[in-house]
């Protein structure tokens, strides 16, 4: 009777446990369904925030790189470094708050109340929005400064200024170009360093990803072992249940067959066996609960690892986006363009230094042409920048429409007023940014029209340069022909002098001082090179000498070279250039106190009056021809330079 009661109690307890287990299963299933729904909503919300964060980061990166391209230099790179540092840092916060902390660029959220958290998030997002607006303002300031520089260059090229001012302006433009090329080189070097750093990080991420994959495989193996152990425990429980059922059936059949003739010892043994079976069942339940708890812990750890892996994959996607950025490739192309222009400037400088004295004007005109080419390149760059701004404006419009759609969806899904207000603020800010970009686009269009006018002026300057170059070549040919003619005359004169060996003729022995002076002064009216003419007929060392004084030392040297050993009426004229300090003081007093240039005409025999007149006329004609030739050469040099 006691064993029957114990079996009934055990059966009742088993049924009660089965019912409790079913209730717990249903509750667990409901909880899992709710958790799945919450996870789905959270995943959609996280996806929306992730896309928003990516768009925001892309906007900030585009603004920074546009500032670098516009001439922001190291300040923009420092801003980019700060942004990269803040994004790369992993916040020390719980896993469920990690994405929000990364969006807010904070390590943790020091608030517990929901309203306080909402206010804190709104403040941080407003500060991040203000920093983005500061970046946009700095970009506008940089573009305005570059526009001012471009306008100053255009005004410098358009104005009618002197050659020296033009050279100074071109040197300033050259320095500006070199400085800009240096800035772009520094920017490209910094970008290369960042690219290398990103590559190293990607390698680290790949290695950590492989490590995580191996860890996940190991955990999967452990999980399979645990599941196998649980399956064995379940089978043991089933076997024990079957043994229990068999034992209870055998007990009932034996009791019916014997009709109460069992001994008390057998009943006690059966009761003891049932208790042992119950204890073993309890132990199996305890082991199963422990295994289930371990399995749940392993699953939770696996979920944590999966989330970390997803975060690493998102960061890897961000790094790949930075590597394949269009602005990075544009900066590389622009660096190559500036290097090519720098090589052109160096080649132009080397070629111009070889012919500095003869082609100075040509060098200036070439520099103007190069500056015009640089202005045209700047115009082309401005056109490309206008096109890029138009594309970015279209992108901003598309992003605005997407954000409006997402905002409506967010307003339908989540009724949080702070998120709605934030989206409205972001939409209004994007509309303002679109208006500012449209204004900037109109300013760039005006700059393009001005650049077209500069291009026409450059073409006219090129035509003028070609005319001046042809004229300079023609004048150089004429000068070369005159030099060749003078050399041929000198050669013919030397040949005649070698053939004729005659006496020396002078002017002073004719006692025609008054006539000679009048004649020379009369000839002096036709040209301005002669100053005074004197002849000496007194006795002494200066007898039979004539002196002609000149104002210009170059004319005196040329006349002395041309008239020395000149054949005149079968006599040779001896002509020498005499400095003023070699004369007697009395003679200096007669000549005057001003500096003069004199050459002497020594005589060897007397001449007739007619011969002297002819000789003086011949000398005057030669002097006049020499002075005219010198004036022509001087005009050619002035016209050339």
CATH number (domain holding residue 582): 3.90.1150.10
The whole-angstrom separation of Cα 404 and Cα 157 is 48
319 phi, psi to nearest 5 deg? -65, -40
Please tell me which of 230-234, 499-503, 554-558 the model is most confident about, judged by mean pLDDT.
230-234
The model's pLDDT over 173-217, given as tens digits with 9 standing for 90+, comes to 778 778 777 877 777 787 778 778 878 888 887 888 788 888 888
Last residue of a domain, one of 467, 498, 529: 498
* In a shared domain, residues 493 and 545: no
User: Does residue 35 fall inside a structural domain?
Assistant: no
Q: Report the Cα 224 to chain-centroid distance in Å.
A: 56
* In a shared domain, residues 636 and 591: yes
pLDDT at 607 over 60: no
* In a shared domain, residues 542 and 416: no
Surface-to-core class of residue 485, CB atoms within 10 Å of its CB (0-12 exposed, 13-18 middle, 19+ buried): exposed
Comparing 105 with 527, the larger pLDDT belongs to: 105
Q: What pTM, to 2 d.p., does this model score? A: 0.29
CA distances from 126 to 120, 422, 510, 623 (A): 10, 8, 112, 91
With a CB cutoff of 8 Å and minimum separation 6, the contacts of 393 are 434, 437, 438, 441
Long-range Cβ pairs for the range 568-572 (8 Å, 24+):
568/505, 568/615, 568/618, 569/505, 569/607, 569/611, 569/614, 569/615, 570/500, 570/502, 571/502, 571/503, 571/504, 571/505, 571/604, 571/605, 571/607, 572/497, 572/500, 572/502, 572/503, 572/504, 572/505
For strand 504-505 and strand 571-578, is the pairing parallel, antiparallel, or unpaired?
parallel
Eight-class DSSP state of 540: S
* In a shared domain, residues 494 and 366: yes
How confident is the model at residue 504, as a pLDDT? Answer: 34
User: Does residue 313 fall inside a structural domain?
Assistant: no
How confident is the model at residue 149, as a pLDDT? Answer: 74
The whole-angstrom separation of Cα 456 and Cα 453 is 5
User: Does residue 573 fall inside a structural domain?
Assistant: yes
Q: What is the largest CA-CA distance in the chain?
A: 193
Closest CA to 504 of 438, 458, 570, 454: 570
pLDDT interval class at 245 (50, 70, 90) = low
pLDDT interval class at 156 (50, 70, 90) = low
How confident is the model at residue 424, as a pLDDT? Answer: 74
The total domain count for the chain is 2
Last residue of a domain, one of 498, 523, 544: 498
pLDDT at 31 over 80: yes
The boundaries of the domain holding residue 371 are: 355-498
User: Does residue 456 fall inside a structural domain?
Assistant: yes
pLDDT interval class at 104 (50, 70, 90) = low
* In a shared domain, residues 368 and 428: yes
Least confident of 20-34, 96-110, 574-588, 600-614: 600-614
Q: For residues 234 and 287, is the Cβ–Cβ distance under 8 A?
A: no
With a pLDDT cut of 70, the percent of the chain lying above it is: 52
The whole-angstrom separation of Cα 184 and Cα 38 is 50
pLDDT at 29 over 70: yes
pLDDT at 4 over 60: no
> Which structure tokens are listed for 131?
């920093």
C-alpha angle 503-507-509 in degrees, rounded to nearest 5: 90
With a CB cutoff of 8 Å and minimum separation 6, the contacts of 455 are 372, 375, 376, 379
CA distances from 522 to 506, 518, 535, 546, 613 (A): 20, 6, 15, 17, 12
User: Does residue 265 fall inside a structural domain?
Assistant: no
Residues shown for the chain: 641
User: Does residue 232 fall inside a structural domain?
Assistant: no
* In a shared domain, residues 509 and 478: no
How confident is the model at residue 586, as a pLDDT? Answer: 59
Collapsing DSSP to helix, strand or coil, 268 comes out as helix
* In a shared domain, residues 567 and 552: yes
pLDDT at 602 over 80: no
> Which structure tokens are listed for 287?
């082991």
* In a shared domain, residues 482 and 505: no
The whole-angstrom separation of Cα 385 and Cα 522 is 76
**What is the DSSP code string of 541-608?**
TTTTEEEEEES-HHHHHHHHHHHTTEEETTEEEEEEEE-GGGS-HHHHHHH-SS--EEEEEE-SS---
Computed over every residue of the chain, the mean pLDDT equals 67
User: Does residue 203 fall inside a structural domain?
Assistant: no
> Which structure tokens are listed for 180?
């800009």
Position of tokens 């622009």?
Answer: 334
Q: For residues 596 and 549, is the Cβ–Cβ distance under 8 A?
A: yes
Last residue of a domain, one of 474, 498, 522: 498
> Which structure tokens are listed for 72?
């922001």
Please tell me which of 23-37, 241-255, 410-424 the model is most confident about, judged by mean pLDDT.
23-37
Comparing 43 with 349, the larger pLDDT belongs to: 43
The whole-angstrom separation of Cα 469 and Cα 467 is 5
* In a shared domain, residues 485 and 506: no
Eight-class DSSP state of 89: S
Comparing 635 with 389, the larger pLDDT belongs to: 389
* In a shared domain, residues 577 and 626: yes
* In a shared domain, residues 477 and 569: no
User: Does residue 587 fall inside a structural domain?
Assistant: yes
Collapsing DSSP to helix, strand or coil, 528 comes out as coil
576 phi, psi to nearest 5 deg? -135, 145
* In a shared domain, residues 623 and 556: yes
């Amino acid at each position: 009777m006691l064993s029957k009661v114990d079996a009934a109690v055990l059966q009742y307890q088993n049924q009660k446990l089965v019912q409790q287990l079913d209730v717990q299963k249903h509750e667990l299933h409901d909880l899992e369904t709710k958790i799945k729904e919450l996870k789905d909503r959270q995943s959609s919300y996280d996806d929306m925030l992730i896309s928003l964060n990516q768009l925001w980061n892309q906007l900030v990166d585009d603004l920074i790189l546009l500032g670098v391209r516009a001439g922001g230099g190291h300040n923009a790179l420092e801003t980019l470094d700060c942004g990269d540092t803040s994004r790369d840092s992993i916040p020390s916060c719980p896993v469920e708050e990690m994405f929000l902390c990364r969006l807010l660029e904070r390590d943790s959220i020091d608030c517990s109340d929901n309203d306080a958290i909402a206010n804190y998030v709104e403040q941080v997002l407003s500060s991040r929005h203000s920093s983005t607006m500061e970046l946009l303002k700095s970009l506008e300031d940089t573009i305005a400064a570059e526009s001012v520089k471009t306008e100053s260059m255009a005004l410098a090229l358009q104005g009618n200024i002197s050659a020296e001012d033009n050279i100074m302006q071109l040197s300033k433009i050259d320095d500006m170009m070199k400085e800009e090329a240096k800035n772009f080189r520094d920017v490209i070097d910094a970008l290369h360093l960042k690219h290398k750093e990103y590559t190293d990080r990607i390698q680290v991420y790949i290695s950590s990803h492989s490590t995580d994959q191996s860890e996940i495989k190991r955990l999967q193996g452990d999980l399979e072992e645990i599941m196998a152990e649980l399956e064995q425990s379940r089978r043991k429980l089933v076997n024990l249940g079957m043994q229990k059922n068999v034992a209870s059936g055998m007990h009932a059949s034996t009791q019916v067959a014997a009709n109460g003739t069992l001994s008390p010892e057998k009943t006690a043994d059966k009761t003891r066996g049932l208790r042992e079976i119950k204890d073993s069942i309890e132990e199996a339940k305890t082991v199963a609960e422990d295994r289930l708890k371990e399995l749940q812990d392993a699953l939770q750890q696996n979920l944590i690892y999966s989330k970390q892996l997803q975060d690493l994959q998102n960061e890897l996607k961000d790094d790949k986006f930075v590597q394949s950025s269009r602005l990075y490739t544009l900066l590389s192309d622009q660096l190559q363009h500036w290097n090519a222009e720098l090589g052109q400037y160096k080649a132009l400088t080397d070629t111009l230094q070889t012919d500095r004295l003869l082609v100075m004007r040509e060098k200036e005109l070439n520099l103007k042409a190069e500056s015009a080419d640089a202005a045209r390149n700047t115009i082309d760059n401005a056109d490309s920048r206008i096109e890029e701004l138009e594309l970015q404006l279209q992108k901003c419009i598309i992003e605005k429409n997407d954000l409006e759609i997402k905002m409506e969806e967010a307003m339908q899904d989540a009724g949080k007023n702070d998120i709605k207000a934030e989206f409205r603020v972001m939409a209004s800010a994007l509309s303002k940014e679109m208006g500012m970009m449209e204004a900037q686009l109109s300013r760039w269009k005006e700059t393009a029209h001005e650049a077209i006018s500069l291009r026409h002026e450059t073409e006219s300057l090129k035509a003028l340069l070609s005319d001046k170059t042809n004229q300079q070549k023609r004048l150089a040919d004429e000068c070369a022909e005159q030099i060749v003619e003078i050399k041929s005359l000198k050669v013919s004169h030397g040949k005649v002098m070698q053939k004729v060996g005659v006496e020396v003729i002078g002017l002073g022995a004719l006692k025609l001082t008054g006539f000679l002076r009048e004649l020379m002064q009369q000839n002096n009216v036709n040209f301005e090179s002669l100053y005074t003419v004197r002849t000496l007929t007194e006795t002494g060392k200066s007898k039979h000498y004539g002196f002609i004084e000149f104002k210009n030392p170059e004319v005196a040297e040329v006349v002395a070279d041309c008239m020395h050993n000149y054949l005149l009426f079968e006599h040779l004229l001896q002509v020498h250039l005499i400095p003023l300090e070699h004369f007697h003081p009395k003679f200096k007093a007669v000549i005057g106190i001003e500096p003069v240039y004199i050459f002497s005409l020594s005589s060897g025999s007397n001449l007739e009056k007619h011969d002297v007149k002819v000789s003086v006329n011949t000398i005057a004609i030669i002097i006049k021809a020499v002075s005219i030739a010198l004036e022509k050469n001087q005009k050619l040099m002035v016209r050339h330079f």
